[in-house]
Amino acid sequence: MARHGHAAMRPDGDVDLDATADFVVADCEECGGALKPDVVFFGENVPAARVARCYDAVDALGVDGALLVAGSSLAVMSGLRFVKRAARAGTPVVIVNRGVTRGDDLAAYKLEIGVGDFLGALAQRRRTKT
């Protein structure tokens, strides 16, 4: 960490590192493949079973629920597809994001505030209602 403390961090959390020649990806002790967290990295395909589960969750919202998009520009289809599906079904879409998103035209509500501010206010409101 101290070795790369000078590296500038970009908004998405990535950093530019010059000295990476000694970086080693850990192997899985069971299969020998590259050890990687259960996440989808930029450029990878979202597993079909995960997409299907998310479609089911969006469908379950119906017109009485709402789909909340928090802190995403929806620049890639992996997120935008759920907004499109909800909007087609009549499920209200609420987008909380500073700046334009690809889903703005589909949103019932768009809040131009930071996610931290929004979630903090939401949590505070929930605490005062109980």
| Tens of pLDDT, residues 83-124 | 999 999 999 999 999 999 999 999 999 999 999 999 999 999
What are the pLDDT digits (tens) for 11-45?
A: 555 556 666 677 788 888 899 888 888 888 777 88
Q: Is the pLDDT of residue 125 over 60?
A: yes
- Portion of the chain with pLDDT greater than 90, in percent: 61
**pLDDT at residue 128 in the model:** 92
Section 69-73 average pLDDT: 95
Angle, CA 65 vertex, CA 53 and CA 42 arms, to 5° = 40
Cα–Cα distance for residue pair 88/14, rounded to 1 Å: 35
What's the angle, vertex CA 77, arms to CA 74 and CA 81, rounded to 5?
90
Residue-range domains of the chain with CATH: 48-129 (3.40.50.1220)
Torsion-angle region of 113 (φ positive above 0: left; ψ -120 to 50: alpha; else: beta): beta
Least confident range from 39-48, 52-61, 121-130: namely: 39-48
Instruction: Say if pTM beats, i.e. exceeds, 0.85.
Output: no
Measure the CA–CA gap between 117 and 121, rounded to whole angstroms.
Answer: 6
C-alpha R_g of the chain = 19
Residue whose entry in the numeric block shows the structure tokens 């469908």: 59
